[in-house]
Amino acid sequence: MSAHSHSQSSFAEKPDIASWFRRYSEPLHRNPYPFYSYLLEQEPIRFIEENGFWVISRYEDVNRILKDPTFVREHRNAMPGLYEEPPQQVVNEWKPVNDLLDNWMLLRDAPVHTRLRGLVSPAFTPRAMERLRQNIRNIAEHLADEMAEGNEAELISGFAFPLPVIVIAEMLGVPPEDRELFKGWSHTFARILEGGDQPPDFAGQAIGAAEEISVYFRDLIGEHKKAPKEDMISDLIHAKEQADALTEQELIATCVLLLVAGHETTVNLISNTMLALLDHPEQRALLLNQPKLIASTVEEGLRYEGPVQQTSRLAAADYSIGGQTIKQGQFVTVMLGAANRDPAQFQEPDRFLIERTPNRHLAFATGAHFCLGAPLARMEGEIALSVLMQKFPKMHFKDEYPNWRPNMLFRGLGTMQVQL
Ligand code: HEM
């Protein structure tokens, strides 16, 4: 085992589950897998009184909950007639944020979810993806050539981050030179989604970011209306004008969702999988020998060190599971990252095996909200890792331990220094 491998030590004492979910802590989250293994073995269905939600970790249970229409996203659907709106002052203050989140398909149920998803999905079909393939390869090769000018590089800022960001910006039709702006906004939204205890100044930052990004897209949509182009913003405007299928606010929110999804996930797929390959030299040698294994390598990267570790739902009725009852209106956190290490589903779950079959991981979730961007993420992951393998077959870590970005929901490295 190399210095970067996760030790699979188990907990001597009961871990403090409530504090795990309250606030990100570097020592706790550096290696979450012993904690997951504790949950899977000892407390697979656990209600945390302090935080007021259930934590579900076994594959079978997570899979079942995500597919079951009893579990919803919207309070008003979980508790029809009973849900109380927050005080008006809070509603007003958070309006810029909620105008966006309330229009994200990710956080809606049918019928709004179905309509919004239907409007965006043509852009993500396998056929639509194939048309992007060569362009993605060109971008990846260009970034790799730039890195190759030195003996060492920082893989996140030099490659893993810019690749998906350039791709989603081009797909949407936003100018790539505004990249630094999106980065800040997108990281703020990643923290809004994370929940938990945030520092007191975070509210101002979140509301400010929501206001700015909304103005940004309103202007950009205005420009696209005057001069339509071949991009998603123009397609969505067309859908809005033809069938009146989308409100202006939904259009803005959808652009923001795609931008955030494009920023916070695929970067982690590329770098987390590269980290696993560097940590497992025999698996890397196998991939170098058999480049055809790239697709299953990406799947194993998604399973082993998934970019999205958890998601949540609300129970719309009392629900029995494993001898316990989740009550109507209660919050449920499903641990995708733990389910993907469940020994009942995966043989030797803590090993990184690029030939693993079957590999029905839940990294993209399942059910109605199954990741819409999955075909894009998979293609970007395959191209990115192939290019890195080809150009830098001897890549290795510089000595420092790669640091994880402080977010409980999204698992990804802040920096990754490598020798080329
Ligand atoms: C490896 C990269 C990615 C991972 C691991 C990932 C993961 C996920 C997960 C777990 C969900 C479902 C959340 C839930 O059910 O609560 C989701 C939904 C979604 N993802 Fe991704 N995602 C990735 C990349 C992308 C990309 C590149 C895009 C688009 C640019 C994207 C767009 C979306 C959208 C629009 C949804 C909402 C779908 C719905 O509510 O019906 N994702 N993603």
CATH code of the domain occupying 17-419: 1.10.630.10
- Tell me how far the alpha carbon of residue 364 lies from the centroid of ligand 1, in angstroms: 6
Contact status, residue 54 vs residue 46, Cβ threshold 8 Å: yes
Percent of the residues in the chain that have a pLDDT greater than 70, as a whole number: 96
pLDDT value at 4 more than 50: no
Most informative mutation of 106, 258, 311, 371 for ligand 1 (most atoms within 8 A of CB): 371
Torsion of CA 71, 74, 75, 80, to 10 degrees: -80
What 3-state DSSP class applies to 311? strand
Q: Angle at the Cα of 216 (from 212 to 217), degrees rounded to 5?
A: 120
pLDDT tens for each residue of 252-307: 999 999 999 988 899 999 999 999 999 999 999 999 999 999 999 999 999 999 99
Q: What residues flank ligand 1, with Cβ below 6 Å?
A: 105-106, 117, 168, 257-258, 261-262, 265-266, 269, 306-308, 311, 363-365, 369, 371-373, 376-377
What 3-state DSSP class applies to 318? coil
- Tell me how far the alpha carbon of residue 13 lies from the centroid of ligand 1, in angstroms: 35
pLDDT value at 12 more than 70: no
DSSP 8-state assignment for residue 6: P
User: Going by CA atoms, what residue is nearest to atom 37 of ligand 1?
Assistant: 106
β-strand partners of 419:
152, 396
- Tell me how far the alpha carbon of residue 306 lies from the centroid of ligand 1, in angstroms: 12
pLDDT value at 145 more than 90: yes
- Tell me how far the alpha carbon of residue 266 lies from the centroid of ligand 1, in angstroms: 10
Distance CA 308, CA 311 (A): 8
pLDDT confidence of 374, banded at 50, 70, 90? Answer: very high
User: Going by CA atoms, what residue is nearest to atom 34 of ligand 1?
Assistant: 372
Question: 163-187: buried (b, 16+ CB within 10 Å) or exposed (e) per residue?
Answer: bbbbbbbbbbbbeeeeeeebeebbb
Contact status, residue 125 vs residue 102, Cβ threshold 8 Å: no
pLDDT confidence of 3, banded at 50, 70, 90? Answer: very low
User: Going by CA atoms, what residue is nearest to atom 7 of ligand 1?
Assistant: 364
Q: Which two tokens stand for residue 119?
A: 């409007």
pLDDT tens for each residue of 150-184: 999 999 999 999 999 999 999 999 987 888 888 88
Q: In what order do the strands lie in the sheet with 45-48?
A: 45-48, 53-56, 331-335, 310-315, 71-72
pLDDT tens for each residue of 219-243: 999 999 999 999 999 999 988 887 7
pLDDT value at 5 more than 50: no
pLDDT tens for each residue of 246-266: 899 999 999 999 999 988 899
Residue keyed to tokens 């999955």: 374
pLDDT confidence of 2, banded at 50, 70, 90? Answer: very low
